[in-house]
Amino acid sequence: MVGASVFFVGLGLILVAGQLMPEGEMAEWVALLGLLVLGVGMVMTFIYYIAILWNRIAGFIFRD
């Protein structure tokens, strides 16, 4: 849930930079920050899903 929230914050920053800010260097920096935040959210979500998958597989293998 946290990874998805971070992802959407980054997406929001990109949308703000593209739609609401005037063109210029500051908009580019905000868009770059949005891309970085979005990427962190993607990595966090990927790690969480891999952990869930591993726990399910381990539960099937090491069942009592």
The whole-number pLDDT of residue 1 equals 84
Per-residue tens of pLDDT for the chain, all 64 residues: 899 999 999 999 999 999 888 999 999 999 999 999 999 999 999 999 999 999 999 999 988 6
pLDDT at 63: 83
Q: In the chain, what are the domain boundaries? A: 2-61
The residue whose two tokens read 């293998």 is: 61
The answer to whether residues 61 and 34 touch, using CB atoms and an 8 Å cutoff, is no
Q: What distance lies between CA 51 and its chain's CA centroid? A: 16
Give pLDDT, residue 64.
Answer: 66
Could you tell me the two tokens for 10? 């980054």
Burial class (CB in 10 A: 0-12, 13-18, 19+), 14: middle
| CA gap 33, 27 in Å, rounded | 10
